[in-house]
Amino acid sequence: MKRQGPSTAFAGRNLSPLAGCTILQVVPELEAGGVERTTVDIAEGLAASGARALVATSGGRLVAELQAKGGIWIPFPARTKNPVAMLANARRLRAICLDEGVDILHARSRAPAWSSLMACRALRLPFVTTYAGSYSGRSAVKVLYNSVMARGDAVIANSSYTADLIARQHPFARDRVRVIHRGTDLRAFSPHAVEPERVERIRRDWGVQPHQRVVLLAARLTAWKGQKVLIEAAKRLVDRGVQDIAIVLAGDPQGRDGYVRELDALTEKLGLKGIVHRAGHCVDMPAAFLAASVVTVPSIEPEAFGRSAVEAQAMGAPVVVSDLGAVPETVLAPPQAPAAARTGWRVPPGDAEALADAVQTALGMGASARDALAARGRAHVEAHFSLGRMVGETLDLYAALLGQERA
């Protein structure tokens, strides 16, 4: 495959130490999630630096994009959690590393990470992991299973919250952890890059009326993402006389039919038909955030990062987030920041009343105040959460590991 030239997102960095190297990333599948998107972004950065960017995965909707951006897909049954199959995968990965001349192996999920660890130890290859989730588990067996994500020669934490979690649960890894925040493509997530037709199209797809202001929750349909809290907040807003809103739940149910029925039943019970819209998976998130008057992240369990809040701020949307996990790292709000520096609102998790208050405040802003908030949010993301910064820091880490190996 012909390689593309360096992306403008990564321009200006000296990535030559990786030229000619081969980096293998392993991820269960390449569907539309933060881990998968990061995999493709890093592959693009590697290809732009002159490295070979291999991705071993079972497949998914992002495979075509991976290949278009210079990555190389290796079909691999990385989704399996069967212990016997994981042992077989270790042998497969060892063969891939030998055949392809892999210099570093980077695992992004627990089951394939165990297979990757075995292959790396057998070949004495540098092993990198990305700890990108608040992995649950209180039993000794589950903690051991989770610990593989802290066993890399370098362990990338996607937030300071995640780094603290690693230090508490896996103290042996404390000295090998490096925080690299998830990066946002500021070319795609820019208000100036989205044509009005895209916003009009997505509003039609959602079924919202021209006069309605959209309050968006962009997340897969699962209870801990807080869809029920937002629906309950919507009831309070309507009872207060806020009649011109449309609550859009944009996310894939991923087979959780029971939870979908619960959401529909709650919507019916609270008399919110025509106000709450289940929109399914959204393929045009820049247009979705631009179409929203307010973006919410009302999670009731800790998020390991908070991609939606960052991308929404890049698009200039007011954001209201739960004050737990890593999401508060991404949103400036009192008391941690002065009111004049605010880029959004933080509310207690599970508190529908507080969520309604913050959404109503955001909806009530005048044009000048909203423009100022949008400018602050964009500047905040540009300074701390750009794609170029994430890719550059990750590739610098790869180069440092290779330098240690050569030394």
DSSP 328-391: HHHS--TTTS-GGG--EEEE-TT-HHHHHHHHHHHHT--HHHHHHHHHHHHHHHHHH-BHHHHH
Q: Say yes or no to pLDDT of 75 above 50.
A: yes
pLDDT for res 407: 62
Model confidence band, residue 304 (pLDDT cutoffs 50, 70, 90):
confident
Contacts of 254 (CB under 8 A, 6+ apart): 220, 221, 222
Strands 177-179 and 154-157, by their bridges, are: parallel
Q: By three-state DSSP, how is residue 236 classified?
A: helix
As a whole number, mean pLDDT of residues 348-365 equals 98
Neighbours of 400 (CB within 10 A): 14
CA distances from 91 to 84, 98, 102, 118 (A): 11, 11, 14, 8
Q: Say yes or no to pLDDT of 33 above 80.
A: no
Q: By three-state DSSP, how is residue 194 classified?
A: coil
Contacts of 242 (CB under 8 A, 6+ apart): 360, 363
Q: What does the block give as tokens for 337?
A: 């920041």
pLDDT for res 271: 97
State the Cα–Cα distance between residues 4 and 50, nearest whole angstrom.
Answer: 10
pLDDT for res 134: 72
State the Cα–Cα distance between residues 338 and 41, nearest whole angstrom.
Answer: 34
Which region among 32-41, 293-302, 330-339 has the lowest average model confidence (pLDDT)? 32-41
Q: What does the block give as tokens for 176?
A: 């090998």
Do 8-183+386-400 and 191-384 share a fold? Answer: yes
State the Cα–Cα distance between residues 220 and 222, nearest whole angstrom.
Answer: 6
- Residue keyed to tokens 């937030």: 159
Domain limits, the chain: 8-183+386-400, 191-384
CB-side exposure of 107: number of CA atoms within 13 Å?
A: 29
Find the helix packing angle between 387-406 and 34-49, rounded to 10°.
60
- Residue keyed to tokens 């592959």: 43
Strands 276-278 and 177-179, by their bridges, are: unpaired
pLDDT in tens, 395-405: 999 999 998 87
Distance of CA 268 to the CA centre of its chain: 31
Closest by Cα among 46, 383, 399, 343 to 181: 383
pLDDT for res 405: 72
Superfamily of domain 8-183+386-400 in the CATH hierarchy: Glycogen Phosphorylase B; (3.40.50.2000)
CATH class held by domain 191-384:
alpha beta
pLDDT in tens, 159-205: 999 999 999 999 999 999 999 999 999 999 999 999 999 999 999 99
Q: Which region holds residue 255: left if phi is over 0, alpha if psi is between -120 and 50, else beta?
A: left
pLDDT in tens, 128-146: 999 987 776 678 888 899 9
Strands 344-347 and 292-297, by their bridges, are: unpaired
- The DSSP-derived string for 12-34 is T---GGGTT-EEEEE-S--SSSH
